[in-house]
């Protein structure tokens, strides 16, 4: 255990801190500044090679209209839209839409052309696409045309000098003599960004693939994809897809700008596929992995009812794994554990067996060689080499399963089966269990800045005796929207410093949610690490904190003590409890009674946070300092245990003028780290950290 100051250890100096902080909000500064003592020869923990990763699920249009490259929305004509009730303003509620409404598709009739479109259940493409789009062209001569237009995910992006790959299934009725044009066209119909033709259609279902190239155009999102014909007759469309250039040119690949942001984070693992998305509201809407593999036109898709929109499942199990490959992450695979959000649960025992089998097969798909059934299937899907897998998580937040013993018994069944087949796999639980000892426990924290700071040092005092390692599988300081502002970033940095300092116990961590599409109506969960619209993307200040931390740390945590840390008093809001008073029969009591509970005692919150790690191969020491005060803070640093220290080093600093400063789609780089060479370092020196800042100081010593 290290001896770095935390809330309780700070008590001894609180009178001084308080004196200086009193009445001055966050302007606190101790008389003589902060004193840090770093002992370079005392290693308190080793940082796990998989310490920092990503967590992901289909939320906030993370993949659909986000990372997943597909530009056509409702490409297999199955999309439905649930009713959206606005309780405050019922007039603004939106009714449900059925597949027959052909959501996101519309009819285009040009220059006097005429026709109609409808969903046709009599002409299926395959089992996954049981109804197709029938286009009837009643009038089309000369330059007249009739077609179908897709409005994409908040528009079809047209970017300069880019190559788009269109793919569609179609067939023509006997007597149709025309072909089909595929074009990216501005919403006003005036500008064609790119176009290509299929000269003749078959009378049988055929797959057509085309390349569309844009010229030196202005990037814009105000476009549609139009497939049109200029001869009378009937044409069926079975599936329509359009991909822009993808990261590493993968087929069915991912959006390059977002992937570059992710690669720049240097994450070591990916926790997927959720989150609530894994569980679904019901069994039918869980992440049913077998339906997410194989050719995209054979994937049925499903309603992501956990977050309220349709998933094409184009982002399927293999795509998550390829994503891992592409930026050097290892998968942390969460398997469906027999519990869905609306309280559906499978009883442990024979009822649960099919789901345990499903999980074992999923693990085989990820790790099996080609002699195994599911390894062979993965090879057929395009990836013969097995993926490295060390961690499997059983479920997600199963503490929501209120039935006593339910998760314990379900976990036990999964744990035993996984260990019997894959003894080297480490199994993660998501709620307390008693019957088995998990290898790792997954803990989630979504907090205010104050709560984050209050708890930033919690792991310092967590027992190490016979306890599983900890995976902080979801965490965030929820301040700022759609993406966190500097306040959020300061809370995150304080929290991360605490995790890093306790890296002997906390072996993995990942922020959540990772993504948000900032277009209107796309967000279900505010405060997300990375934002994007149809054209561009950006990292929040919290993103930059992780980028700085992930790329500047050593493998050894060093002993560090601190004195003179400023703090402030925080009065937590008085909690209220809704519902019947204790003892009252629920039915007899008014349902929304609000009771005020006792006001908690005020708390002292530290306002600065530190840790130090050292790279055992280079000798570089990384000191991290988080300053949540509005004042520049001198930090006196003593380093012992080294024979020499170079006077020259480096700082990487993230700071802003106010705690509300943030990045956005229109101002993506307002808050970004600044690197500077520094000198004057040694065994005793002072550096001043700016107000509202996060700093990494690199010290080179031997
Ligand atoms: O990150 C958003 C949600 O928060 C996750 O889906 C769930 O696991 C948690 O409750």
C-alpha to C-alpha distance for 168 and 297, rounded to whole angstroms = 9
Ligand 1 center from residue 38 Cα (angstroms): 37
- For ligand 1, what atom is nearest to the CA of residue 276? 6
Residue 352, C-beta contacts closer than 8 angstroms, at least 6 positions apart: 338, 346, 410, 413
Q: What is the pLDDT of residues 499-540, one digit of tens each?
A: 999 999 999 999 999 999 999 999 999 999 999 999 999 999
Ligand 1 touching residue 393 (CB < 6 A): no
For residues 219-225, give the mean pLDDT.
Answer: 98
pLDDT tens digits for 156-215? 999 999 999 999 999 999 999 999 999 999 999 999 999 999 999 999 999 999 999 999
Whether 473 is in the pocket of ligand 1, judged by its Cβ within 6 Å, is: no
Verify whether ligand 1 is closer than 6 Å to residue 512 (CB atom): yes
Could you tell me where the DSSP H helices lie in 288-352?
Answer: 317-326
* pTM over the 0.75 mark: yes
CA of 144 to the centre of ligand 1 (A): 51
- Is residue 29 predicted with pLDDT exceeding 80? no
276 alpha carbon – ligand 1 mean position (Å): 6
Secondary structure percentages of the chain, helix, strand, coil, to 5: 20, 35, 45
Distance CA 297, CA 300 (A): 8
Q: Measuring from atom 2 of ligand 1, which residue has the nearest CA?
A: 513
> How far, in Å, is the centroid of ligand 1 from the Cα of 275?
5
Three-state secondary structure readout of 672-693: CCEEEEECCCCCEEEEEECCCE
Judge if the beta carbon of residue 525 lies within 6 A of ligand 1. yes
Euclidean distance between CA atoms 604 and 5, whole angstroms: 13
| Tokens 């924290």 -> residue | 445
Q: Write out pLDDT tens, residues 244-255.
A: 999 999 999 999
From 345, 359, 341, select the one nearest 405 (Cα to Cα).
345
Angle between helices 317-326 and 256-263 (to 10 degrees): 60
pLDDT value at residue 94: 87
pLDDT band, very low/low/confident/very high, at 380 (cuts 50, 70, 90) = very high
Ligand 1 atom 3 nearest Cα? 275
More confident residue, 443 or 590: 443
With 50 as the cut, is the pLDDT of residue 487 above it? yes
pLDDT tens readout for residues 571-622 = 988 877 665 544 444 444 445 566 677 888 899 999 999 999 999 999 999 9
- Residue of 513, 527, 529, 542 to test ligand 1 pocket, by largest number of atoms within 8 Å of CB: 513
Q: Which helix (H) or strand (E) holds 279?
A: helix 276-279
Residue whose Cα lies nearest atom 6 of ligand 1: it is 275
CA dihedral 405, 410, 412, 418 (to 10 degrees): -170
CA 20 to chain CA centroid, nearest Å = 40
Cβ neighbors of 445 (< 8 A, separation 6 or more) are 452, 455, 472, 474, 475, 476, 495
Atom nearest to 57 CA in ligand 1: 6
Rounded Cα distance between 120 and 124, Å, is: 8
Query: Which residues are CB-contacts of 374 (< 8 A; sequence separation ≥ 6)?
Result: 361, 362, 364, 365, 368
Query: Which residue's CA is the nearest one to ligand 1's atom 9?
Result: 275
Give the count of beta carbons closer than 10 Å to the beta carbon of residue 80.
15
Predicted local distance difference test score (pLDDT) of residue 26: 47
* For residue 513, cis peptide bond before it (omega within 30 degrees of 0): yes
User: In this structure, are residues 318 and 381 in contact, taking their beta carbons and an 8 Å threshold?
Assistant: yes
Cα separation of 660 and 643, whole Å? 43
Ligand 1 and 66: CB distance under 6 A: no
Per-residue pLDDT, 596: 72
């Amino acid at each position: 255990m290290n001896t770095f100051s935390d809330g309780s250890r700070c008590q001894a100096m609180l009178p001084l801190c308080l004196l200086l902080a009193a009445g001055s909000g966050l302007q606190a500064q101790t008389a003589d500044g902060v004193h840090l003592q770093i002992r370079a020869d005392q290693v308190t923990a080793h940082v796990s090679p998989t310490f920092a990763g990503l967590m992901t699920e289909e939320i906030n249009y993370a993949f659909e209209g986000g990372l997943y490259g597909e530009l056509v929305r409702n490409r297999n004509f199955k999309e439905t839209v649930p009713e959206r009730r606005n309780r405050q303003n019922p007039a603004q509620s939106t009714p449900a839409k059925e597949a027959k409404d052909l959501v996101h598709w519309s009819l285009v009739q040009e220059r006097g052309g005429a026709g109609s479109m409808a969903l046709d259940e009599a002409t299926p493409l395959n089992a996954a696409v049981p109804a197709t789009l029938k286009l009837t062209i009643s009038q089309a001569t000369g330059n007249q045309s009739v077609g179908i237009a897709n409005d994409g995910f908040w528009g079809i992006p047209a970017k300069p000098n880019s190559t788009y790959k269109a793919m569609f299934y179609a067939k023509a009725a006997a007597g149709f003599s025309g072909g089909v044009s595929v074009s990216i066209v501005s919403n006003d119909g005036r500008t064609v960004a790119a176009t290509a033709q299929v000269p003749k259609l078959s009378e049988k279902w055929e797959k057509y693939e085309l390349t569309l190239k844009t010229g030196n155009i202005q990037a814009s999102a105000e476009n549609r994809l139009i497939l049109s014909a200029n001869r009378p007759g009937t044409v069926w469309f079975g599936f329509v897809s359009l991909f822009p250039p993808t990261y590493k040119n993968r087929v069915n690949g991912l959006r390059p700008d977002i992937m570059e942001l992710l690669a720049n984070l240097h994450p070591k693992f990916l926790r997927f596929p959720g989150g609530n998305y894994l569980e679904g509201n019901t069994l039918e809407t869980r992440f049913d992995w077998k339906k997410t593999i194989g050719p995209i036109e054979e994937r049925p898709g499903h309603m992501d009812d956990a977050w309220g929109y349709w998933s094409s499942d184009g982002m399927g199990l293999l795509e998550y794994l390829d994503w891992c490959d592409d930026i050097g992450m290892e998968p942390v695979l969460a398997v469906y554990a027999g519990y869905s959000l609306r309280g559906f649960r499978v009883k442990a025992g024979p009822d649960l067996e099919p789901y345990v089998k499903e999980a074992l097969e999923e693990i085989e798909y990820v790790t099996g060689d080609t002699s195994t059934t599911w390894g062979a299937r993965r090879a057929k899907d395009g990836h013969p080499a097995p993926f490295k897998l060390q961690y499997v998580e059983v479920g997600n937040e199963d503490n929501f399963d209120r039935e006593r013993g339910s998760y314990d018994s379900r976990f036990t069944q999964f744990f035993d089966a996984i260990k019997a087949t894959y003894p080297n796999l480490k199994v993660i639980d998501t709620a307390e269990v008693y019957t088995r000892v998990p290898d790792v426990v997954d803990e989630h924290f979504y907090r205010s800045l104050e709560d984050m700071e209050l708890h930033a040092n919690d792991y310092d005092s967590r027992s190490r005796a016979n306890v599983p390692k900890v995976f902080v599988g979801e965490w965030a300081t929820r301040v700022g929207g759609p993406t966190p502002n500097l306040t959020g970033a300061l809370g995150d940095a304080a929290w991360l410093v605490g995790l890093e300092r306790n890296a002997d116990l906390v072996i993995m961590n990942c922020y959540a949610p990772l993504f948000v599409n900032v277009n209107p109506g796309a967000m279900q969960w505010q405060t997300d690490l990375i934002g994007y619209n149809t054209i561009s993307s950006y990292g929040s200040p919290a993103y930059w904190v992780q980028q700085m931390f992930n790329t500047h740390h050593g493998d050894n945590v060093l002993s560090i003590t601190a004195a003179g840390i400023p703090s402030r008093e925080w009065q937590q809001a008085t909690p209220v409890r809704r519902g019947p008073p204790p003892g009252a029969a629920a039915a007899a009591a008014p349902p929304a009674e609000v009771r005020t509970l006792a006001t908690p005692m005020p708390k002292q919150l530290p306002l600065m946070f530190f840790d130090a790690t050292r790279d055992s191969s280079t000798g570089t020491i990384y000191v991290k300092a988080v300053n949540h005060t509005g004042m520049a803070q001198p930090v006196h640093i003593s380093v012992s245990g080294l024979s020499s220290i170079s006077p020259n080093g480096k700082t990487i600093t993230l700071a802003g003028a106010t705690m509300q400063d943030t990045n956005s789609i229109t101002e993506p780089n307002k808050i970004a780290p600044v690197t500077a060479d520094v000198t004057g370092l040694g065994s005793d020196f002072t550096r001043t950290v700016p107000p509202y800042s996060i700093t990494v100081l690199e010290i080179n010593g031997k």
